Amino acid sequence: MNNLQSYLDNETIEYYKWLSQFGLFTYEQSIIASYFPKGSLVLDVGCGTGRTTLGLKSLGYRVHGIDYSDKMISKAIENLPSTAFSVQNVLALEFPDNSFDCALFSFNGLMLVGSYSDRLKAMSEIMRVVRRDGVFFFTTPFLDNKVNGEYWGEKIAKFGKQLSAFSEEELLLLGDEITDEGRISFQLHVPFISEIHKMIAESNCEIVFEGRRLNLFPEETAEDELDDNYIWVVKHGKV
């Protein structure tokens, strides 16, 4: 899966520019305040037009924003001309090991990355450039609370078996979605929580914090823009 063309579209760029008015969401501010040391150098992955970058800077963090859409980065530079931005692919980051204190991949962005192997590679690349005592904060949608709904029930039925009989490959296929936003399509993966646990373990990481956002934080001003997502904070595992 590759969403790059959708993130080069002017309509998508204007949407992200509009979203930037919200800055950091309440739950993002809380997690960052709890787990990112003051003054940290933060890698803002999938920064778009700079919503989270601006929010991080306003809290006193040093930030380098990256996105694989050069048009998104151009708009981010217009909005924040004194901030470090670069066009990069999260599957092959152009930073030395241990370059950042912390990393953020907001707005369920990690689940917009290709296949399971690509998402695993992305996580490993992010952790490669995060220092040993640093953390990576990201969010995902999750399937655990959706499978009893009509839509997902119909999707499961197409496999001709009970969910309990699904192979790992079938569970991955189940979670692959195409969402239409007007004339623009995005490919998104909706994982089970167990899938993210597996990915974290295979990245040689440990979970610092996890939980369903709606169980932990009040509704956001931009609630319509958010999925019922899951919050993850991870660190390097023991050597």
Q: How far apart are CA 136 and CA 210, in angstroms?
A: 12
Domain boundaries, the chain: 4-146+188-236
pLDDT (0 to 100) of residue 223? 77
CB 192 within 8 A of CB 144: yes
Topology of 4-146+188-236 in CATH? Rossmann fold (3.40.50)
Sites in the chain below the pLDDT cut of 70: 1, 181
Could you tell me the pTM of the whole model?
Answer: 0.96
Q: How much is the pLDDT for 1? A: 44
Write the single-letter amino acid at 191: P
pLDDT in tens, 186-237: 999 999 999 999 999 999 999 999 999 999 998 888 878 788 899 999 999 9
CA distances from residue 171 to 32, 79, 166, 175, 217 in whole angstroms, order as listed: 32, 41, 6, 6, 29
